[in-house]
Amino acid sequence: METVRWGIIGCGDVTEVKSGPAFALVEGSELVAVMRRDGAKAEDYARRHGVPRWYDDADRLIGDPLVDAVYVATPPSSHAEFTIRAALAGKPVYVEKPMALSYAQCLKMIDACQAAEVPLFVAYYRRRLPLFVRAKELLDAGAIGPPRAVSITLMQPPPRIGGDPAGMPWRLRPETSGGGLFFDLGSHMLDIADFLLGPIASADGEATNQGDLYQAEDSVSAALRFHSEVVGTGLWCFSSGEGEQEDRIEITGTKGRLSFPVFGEPVLTVRPAGGPVGGHRAAGGDGAAAADEAVEETVGARRLTFENPPHVQQPLIRSVVDQIRGRGACPSTGESAARTARVMDQVVKGWRARI
C-alpha cells in the first residue's frame, strides 16, 4: 500500500506527544481514527490532533474499512486481546510495551498474527534513537573489541502515590501491567541489551518489595547469559534514596567500555582499555529534539551527545510504515519483544511463586 492509514486504540498520555503525532508526520502514513472507552475524551483527542473519526468501541475502529493498521496503546492487560482481534481482521499491529502480561500471552499474539499473515511490531522505540543506533554501530565495528560483560542499573526513589488503592497508577498494579516499574522501565533496558548484544539465552533473578507501598515488586536483581556468551547483571531498585539515583548500561569488551543512560540525557561514553571508568547519573526524561551526534574528547574517553526527535517514537514508527509498505524493515518485532517478556518472567518467577 502507498499510504498506511492508522487507527489508535487507547489514545491516552503516551499518544499525546511520544507517538500519536508521528503517524501523521511519517511519509506514507496517516492517522485516520482513534478510540477510547470514554467517548468524550476520544472526541477531544480527535479534535485536537486533527483526526477525522473517533470511536468509543474498539471493534468499530478495527472494523473500519478505512483503517489499514492498528496501534494498540492501552495498558498491557488488554494488549493480547486487541492484537488478536486486529489480526483476525487482517490488519498489521503496532503494540505498546511491555508487549503483554506474560511471555505466554506474547506467543498467542505472535501465533495470531502469523496465522493471519500480518506483521506485528512492538514500541521499543529506543532501537531507532540515535544514541542506541550509534552504540550498535560502534560495537559491530569492534570499537571496544568483542563484548564480554554488561552491567544494567536503574535506581530511583519510590514513586509519589496516594494512599487510596483504587487510585493506584496502573503501572504499579500487576493485574494491569504485568508487574511493577521493573516491567515498565526494566523492559526497555533488557530490550536494548537484546538489540546491542543479541538474544539472552538464560536469566535468573530475585525480586522483592522493600518499600511496602504497593503490591508489585520494587527491587529486582538478575543474572544474564547471552547466546554470544556475554554475561551480565541487572539491578533495578525503585525504593532508593533521593540522592541515590542511577541510570546506566555499561558494556565491557576486550579493548574498552561503552556506557550510557537509557532514560536520561542521551550521552554515550567510549573508554579505551585502561581508561577511567564511570557512569551516568539519571537526568530524567527522554531527551530533546532531533539528530546528529556531537563528540567531546576528554582524557581517556570520548563523549558523544545526541538529540532525540520531539516525538521519540517517530523513527521506529517510520520503520514500521516502511516495512508495511515493502520499503524496509522494523527492528522491533513481536519475536524480539517476546524475548524480553520471557526474560522478565524468568527473573521474577520466584517472587510470583511467593505471592
Domains of the chain: 4-125+312-329 (3.40.50.720), 126-311+342-354 (3.30.360.10)
Residue 323 confidence (pLDDT): 98
For residues 281 and 346, which has the higher predicted lDDT (pLDDT)?
A: 346
Name the least confident of 10-14, 196-200, 270-274, 336-340.
270-274
pLDDT in tens, 39-48: 999 999 999 9
CA-CA distance, 64 to 224, in Å (whole number)?
Answer: 44
Interval 90-98 mean pLDDT: 98
CA 80 to chain centre: 16
CA 89 to chain centre: 26
Residue 85 confidence (pLDDT): 98
Beta bridge partners of 8: 34, 71
Residue 22: phi and psi, rounded to 5, are -65, -30
Residue 278 confidence (pLDDT): 44
Q: Is 127 helix (H, G, I), strand (E, B) or coil?
A: helix
Residue 333 confidence (pLDDT): 98
Interval 108-128 mean pLDDT: 98
pLDDT in tens, 268-327: 999 987 655 444 433 333 333 334 567 765 557 899 999 999 999 999 999 999 999 999
Residue 300 confidence (pLDDT): 72
Residue 242 confidence (pLDDT): 81
Burial class, 349, CB count within 10 angstroms (exposed 0-12 / middle 13-18 / buried 19+): middle
> Above 70 in pLDDT, residue 93?
yes
Task: Tell me 333's DSSP state.
Answer: B
Using alpha carbons, select from 16, 59, 14 the residue that is nearest to residue 35: 59
Residue 272 confidence (pLDDT): 86
Beta bridge partners of 231: 149, 225
Q: What predicted TM-score, i.e. pTM, was given to this entire model? A: 0.92
Q: Is there a contact between 38 and 56 (Cβ–Cβ < 8 Å)?
A: yes
Interval 231-260 mean pLDDT: 95
Run of H or E residues at 140? helix 130-140
Degrees (nearest 5) of the Cα angle 339, 340, 345?
100
Residue 162 confidence (pLDDT): 67
Q: What is the DSSP string of 193-205?
A: HHHHH--EEEEEE
What mean pLDDT, rounded, does the chain reach? 92
Residue 244 confidence (pLDDT): 82
pLDDT in tens, 147-197: 999 999 999 999 988 666 667 899 999 999 999 999 999 999 999 999 999
> Above 90 in pLDDT, residue 80?
yes
For residues 53 and 242, which has the higher predicted lDDT (pLDDT)?
A: 53
